[in-house]
């Protein structure tokens, strides 16, 4: 893992990797450097067999990510902006990342920040977090999946309200809407998130990967296609050593040790 990132940090503890967006003075706004370095780090983490779960967080006490770096919007051409979003954005790469990803949200989660969180699989936040899609206030619309993922996650009624007004909601409302999985006190956020990450990291990596793929299909295919693909992925699990280990461990009344094979 290269150590010379300027905009992110990547740390590994046992089976968990933590990617920190490291621009606290700009409330971790997503500039092109964060996207470039984040995409490079994700490519390495995807194939690193020691890593089973990824946690993404923002540096500092105030924000997860306060959106796209608005200062870069001033000079960007339409063609450049389209190219970045289509091929080299963190949103795109996270969407097909093969391991579970948890967004740990400890403050402002706005615009591209909320889109980044929604491209993750689980969202755990502190009770001081605030969520919004404020793009409308800049005369633009969401470009990192906001109109699509927010609508799928919380429904058209609520998504339309948030996207058309740009208003912020608090953590309790985000939980009520189903935008986040859990809300914790700020001082407990890290411990509770790592607890969840470790719990998932003990599961069979290939089954986790297929589970992600199948769940994501639910909002991207029709029911018959989704059910059919689920059966294919279920059957593929029967080709793994981990399936043999899981079943044997159950029958022998012991804890399974999954190897990702
Ligand atoms: N892009 C670039 N810089 C940003 C940023 C963003 N999305 N969000 C915050 N910053 C920068 C500020 O410009 C400021 O930099 P400076 O100290 O060099 O002036 C620094 O981060 C701290 O932000 P500040 O606005 O002073 O903090 P605050 O507590 O007064 O307000 C927010 C916090 C989140 C309400 C406010 O920063 C904000 O509205 N940010 C933009 C949110 C947004 O519209 N995001 C969607 C973009 S599509």
> Ligand 1 atom closest to Cα of 71?
2
Task: Give me 249's structure tokens.
Answer: 């461990």
Task: Report CA(27)–ligand 1 centroid distance (Å).
Answer: 6
Best mutation site among 24, 26, 108 for ligand 1, i.e. most ligand atoms within 8 A of its Cβ?
26
Nearest protein CA to atom 30 of ligand 1, as residue: 27
Nearest protein CA to atom 12 of ligand 1, as residue: 26
Grade residue 87 by pLDDT with cuts at 50, 70 and 90: confident
Q: For residues 47 and 35, give the distance between their C-alpha atoms in angstroms, rounded to a whole number.
A: 19
pLDDT of residue 1: 52
pLDDT of residue 110: 98
- Asked whether the predicted pLDDT for residue 73 surpasses 70, the reply is yes
**Mean pLDDT, residues 212-229 taken together:** 96
How is 154-191 classified by DSSP, letter by letter?
Answer: H-HHHHHHHHHH---EEHHHHHHHTS-SEEE-HHHHHH
Tell me what the pLDDT averaged over the chain comes to: 96
pLDDT of residue 3: 61
Report the pocket of ligand 1 as residue ranges, CB < 6 Å: 26-27, 29, 66-71, 108, 110-112, 134-135, 138
3-state secondary structure (DSSP) of residue 76: coil
> Ligand 1 atom closest to Cα of 135?
48
- Asked whether the predicted pLDDT for residue 223 surpasses 60, the reply is yes
Q: Indicate whether this model's pTM tops 0.85.
A: yes
> Ligand 1 atom closest to Cα of 63?
34
Q: How far is CA 64 from CA 20, 47, 148, 204, in A?
A: 9, 26, 21, 29
Name the percent of the chain lying above pLDDT 90.
92
Task: Using the Cα atoms of residue 144, residue 226, residue 177 and residue 158 in order, give the sign of their dihedral.
Answer: positive
């Amino acid at each position: 893992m290269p150590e010379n990132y300027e905009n992110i940090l990547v740390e590994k503890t046992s089976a968990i990797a933590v990617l920190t967006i490291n621009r606290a003075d700009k409330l971790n706004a997503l500039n092109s450097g964060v996207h470039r370095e984040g995409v490079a780090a994700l490519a390495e983490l995807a194939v690193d067999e020691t890593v089973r779960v990824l946690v993404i967080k923002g540096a500092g006490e105030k924000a997860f990510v306060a959106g796209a770096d608005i200062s870069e919007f001033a000079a960007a051409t339409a063609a450049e902006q389209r190219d970045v979003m289509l091929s080299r954005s963190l949103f795109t790469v996270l969407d097909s990342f093969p391991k579970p990803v948890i967004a740990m949200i400890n403050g402002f989660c706005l615009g591209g920040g909320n889109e980044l969180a929604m491209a993750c699989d689980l969202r755990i936040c502190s009770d001081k977090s605030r969520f919004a899609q404020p793009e409308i206030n800049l005369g633009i619309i969401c470009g990192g999946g906001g109109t699509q993922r927010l609508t799928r996650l919380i429904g058209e009624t609520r998504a339309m309200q948030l996207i058309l007004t740009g208003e912020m909601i608090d953590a309790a409302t985000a939980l009520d809407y189903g935008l986040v999985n859990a809300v914790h006190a700020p001082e407990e956020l890290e411990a509770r998130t790592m607890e969840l990450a470790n719990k998932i990291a003990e599961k069979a990596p290939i089954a986790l990967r297929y589970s992600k793929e199948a769940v994501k299909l639910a909002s991207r295919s029709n029911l018959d296609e989704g059910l059919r693909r689920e059966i294919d992925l279920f059957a593929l699990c029967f080709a793994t050593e981990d399936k043999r280990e899981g079943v044997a461990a159950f029958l022998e009344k012991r804890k399974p040790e999954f190897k990702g094979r």
